């Protein structure tokens, strides 16, 4: 008799868990439905008003909402990239050629952090202005690029190689575009597959796909429990 009571209690508890899961699933499905309805609206806004204040605010809100849960490693096609953050992998590859494996990671992290701090130095300005001409030879615009002849960068390239130099130069270029005065890392919605800013449409669709995958896993768990 005692065993029967325990089984009934277990069944009741399982039923309550399933009801709670079902409620969460329904809520997520409703959220996805609302997001789907917004996709076309976002596409229209991005097409007609690209670069305006409302669009930038929408991107900022999405970044703030997703930055703690979305990947910044590039493993997913759409994610959040920290613009101006130096990629540590080239440092690690270089350190593995110099140090024993037990020390390589520490040295790579140390050197990468050191150069990240160098990037914040407002007195260091390793850029130069170049003039870009049109097909008729007339100057059409000016552009700031990383100065390869900068002394610090030349020493970096000589000591650590081209890959490390390119990692630092890329971070410099990003900082000069996204935060030239503050020189701090800036999060951006990013298409890692195509190496460009992600559109709002791409971000919303990626979010919906991720949520649907979560729903499928939860449904699978629910079926298994039953």
pLDDT digit string, tens, across residues 133-172: 777 667 778 889 999 999 999 999 999 999 999 999 999 9
Nearest in space to 129 (alpha carbons), one of 142, 140, 139, 118: 142
Whether the pLDDT of residue 131 is over 70: the answer is: yes
Examine residue 91 and state whether it is found in any structural domain, yes or no: yes
Write out the E strands in the chain.
Answer: 78-83, 127-133, 139-146, 186-191, 196-197
More reliable by pLDDT, 109 or 210: 109
Other CB atoms within 10 Å distance of the CB of residue 172 = 25
Residue 214 domain-assigned (yes or no):
no
Q: Which residues contact 94 (CB under 8 A, 6 or more apart)?
A: 108, 160, 161, 163, 164
Between 121 and 18, the higher pLDDT residue = 121
Q: How many domains does the chain have?
A: 2
pLDDT of residue 223: 47
Does this model's pTM top 0.85? My answer is no
Q: Is residue 100 part of a domain?
A: yes
Q: Is the dihedral of CA 78, 143, 175, 91 positive or negative?
A: positive
Q: Copy the structure tokens of residue 68.
A: 């703690």
C-alpha torsion sign, points 97, 101, 103, 105:
positive
Mean pLDDT, rounded, of the chain: 80
**pLDDT tens figures, 36-70:** 565 555 555 555 555 567 777 878 888 888 877 77
Q: Is the pLDDT of residue 205 over 80?
A: yes
Domain assignment present for 209: no
Q: How far is it, in rounded angstroms, from Cα 207 to Cα 223?
A: 24
Domain that holds residue 99: 85-184
Asked if residue 133 belongs to a domain, the reply is: yes
Is residue 76 situated within a structural domain? no
Q: Tell whether 159 and 108 lie within a shared domain.
A: yes
Tell me, yes or no, whether 63 and 135 share the same domain.
no
Helix, strand, coil distribution of the chain in percent, nearest 5: 60, 15, 25
Residues 6+ apart with CB under 8 A from 179: 83, 84, 185, 186
In a domain, 201, yes or no: no
Give the residue, 113 or 20, on which the prediction is more confident. Answer: 113
Nearest one of 69, 74, 76 to 85, comparing CA atoms: 74
Structure confidence by residue, pLDDT tens digits, 79-102: 899 999 999 999 999 999 999 988
Domain presence at residue 203: no
């Amino acid at each position: 008799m005692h065993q029967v009571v325990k089984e009934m209690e277990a069944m009741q508890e399982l039923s309550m868990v399933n009801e709670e899961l079902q409620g969460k699933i329904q809520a997520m499905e409703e959220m996805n439905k609302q997001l789907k309805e917004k996709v076309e609206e976002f596409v229209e806004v991005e097409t007609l008003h690209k670069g305006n204040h409302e669009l930038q605010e929408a991107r900022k809100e999405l970044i703030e909402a997703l930055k703690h849960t979305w990947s910044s490693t590039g493993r997913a096609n759409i994610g959040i990239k920290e613009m101006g953050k130096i990629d540590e992998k080239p440092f690690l590859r270089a350190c593995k050629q110099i140090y024993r494996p037990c020390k390589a990671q520490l040295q790579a992290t140390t050197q990468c952090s050191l150069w990240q701090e160098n990037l914040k130095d407002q007195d260091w300005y390793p850029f130069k202005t170049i003039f870009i001409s049109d097909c008729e030879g007339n100057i059409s615009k000016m552009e700031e690029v990383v100065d390869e002849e900068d002394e610090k960068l030349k020493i970096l390239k000589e000591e650590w190689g081209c890959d490390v130099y390119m990692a630092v130069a890329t971070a410099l270029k990003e900082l000069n575009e996204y935060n030239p005065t503050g020189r701090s890392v800036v999060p951006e919605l990013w298409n890692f597959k195509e190496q460009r800013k992600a559109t709002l449409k791409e971000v919303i669709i990626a979010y919906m796909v991720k949520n649907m995958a979560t729903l499928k896993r939860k449904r699978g768990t629910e079926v298994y429990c039953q």
